Chain A
């Protein structure tokens, strides 16, 4: 499953933040998304995941093939680690959580309510969720926040084996994961009123923004 994007403009609060994006994420590929804070990486990932519509352009991949790993892990404090994982597995129609548990070294924590986990352990659980979705395209937003060095290695291994199995990953991160990856810098795509625009971009903005100028 390939994720291809052409001439994509994403908007936050109705205002374009990145425009004219074009890239391809093929099976087996890791793409590192970089750019300063507030440059629109999260907005881009949410748009690709189908949580918000793009202002211009379209995303070629089926949202059913994509799983999105956000800043927040979506964990329930009163459920145990195992219950949390089993829930997400069954939502996605899977039942085997063993690879996820072993891949992120959660075996010893299974019974523990996730309220009693440290920030790094929570993050590991949140990342383990990716494995129980069974989806080929991972979109990850700052996955290594609050992970220690050993856990970062676990995560990098998980990405490696996911990619080796024909999956792909688009990762917004500021640290070097030691992965074989290409880099996509969003800087050049920053929305700018002075940039020359294509016709369909103009149409999309024209309905309001340019209306009074």
Chain B
């Protein structure tokens, strides 16, 4: 399993691996929003936690279809399925690799981008904390969506349509916790709810995703 993780990370770092694309996308979205809503610092700082969350979510979405698609096309997925790793393990490792390559950099970059959005002081910490807890759920849910659509020729758009509704609870609790924390209000309830979604997703979704992968391979 570690071999698979190392391979996926190595592939992401090499040319054409797409590492950093999500990060660049996140930067662009955060730059575009002030162009859209105007440069007024008060408005920007109020909407900053939400915009950063939506931006991170979309950046995460961008690379989901690569989780299984490339391995499916070149036949590695067939060979992995017959290897002595359970399919659930493959799914979990792939989701983890996606998070390390996409979710974690986004989490680290978000406080910096917060400065562009006039995010107030405690907000930097809160956006970092909520994304740190929430992005693993985004990767796991995304891996499930990718497993559903892996056999399809043009699955990318469909993948977004399937995954985005599933992202709604995580987004609501995550953005709400970040907003409340920034405003100095108690934020533990949404934070705990989001942590619950993350824990539940990591515990249960690998089984659903593995089932979907098996169906798509046969």
Q: Do A and B bind each other?
A: yes
Task: Tell me the A residues contacting B by CB distance below 8 Å.
Answer: 46, 49-53, 63-64, 66-68, 70-76, 78-79, 83, 87-88, 90-93, 129, 133
A87 and B7 in contact, given A73-B74, A74-B74, A78-B16 (Cβ under 8 angstroms)? yes
What residues of B have a CB within 8 angstroms of the CB of A87 in the complex?
Answer: 3-4, 7
Closest Cβ of chain A to B44, distance in Å, is 40
Could you tell me if A50 and B78 are in contact, using CB atoms closer than 8 angstroms?
A: no
Closest Cβ of chain B to A70, distance in Å, is 5
When chains A and B are docked, how far (Å) is the Cα of A68 from the Cα of B78? 8
Task: Tell me the B residues contacting A by CB distance below 8 Å.
Answer: 2-4, 7, 10-11, 14-17, 71, 73-76, 78-85, 217-218
Could you tell me if B75 and A72 are in contact, using CB atoms closer than 8 angstroms?
A: yes
Closest Cβ of chain A to B13, distance in Å, is 9
Could you tell me if B11 and A51 are in contact, using CB atoms closer than 8 angstroms?
A: no
What residues of A have a CB within 8 angstroms of the CB of B14 in the complex?
Answer: 78-79
Could you tell me if B79 and A74 are in contact, using CB atoms closer than 8 angstroms?
A: yes
When chains A and B are docked, how far (Å) is the Cα of A129 from the Cα of B75? 13
What residues of B have a CB within 8 angstroms of the CB of A76 in the complex?
Answer: 7, 11, 74, 76
Closest Cβ of chain B to A61, distance in Å, is 12
Closest Cβ of chain A to B87, distance in Å, is 11
What residues of B have a CB within 8 angstroms of the CB of A66 in the complex?
Answer: 82
What residues of B have a CB within 8 angstroms of the CB of A46 in the complex?
Answer: 78, 218
What residues of B have a CB within 8 angstroms of the CB of A93 in the complex?
Answer: 84
Could you tell me if A79 and B217 are in contact, using CB atoms closer than 8 angstroms?
A: no
When chains A and B are docked, how far (Å) is the Cα of A24 from the Cα of B97? 42
Could you tell me if B217 and A70 are in contact, using CB atoms closer than 8 angstroms?
A: no
List 28 A–B pairs whose Cβ atoms lie within 8 Å, in order of A's numbering. Answer: A51-B78, A51-B217, A51-B218, A52-B217, A63-B82, A64-B84, A70-B79, A73-B74, A74-B79, A75-B74, A75-B76, A76-B7, A76-B74, A76-B76, A78-B11, A78-B17, A79-B7, A79-B10, A79-B11, A83-B10, A87-B3, A87-B4, A87-B7, A88-B79, A88-B83, A91-B3, A91-B4, A133-B83
When chains A and B are docked, how far (Å) is the Cα of A76 from the Cα of B82? 18
* Given pairs A51-B217, A75-B74, A90-B3, 14 additional interface contacts (CB within 8 A): A53-B218, A63-B82, A66-B82, A68-B79, A70-B75, A72-B73, A73-B74, A78-B15, A87-B7, A91-B3, A91-B83, A91-B84, A91-B85, A129-B79
Closest Cβ of chain B to A76, distance in Å, is 6
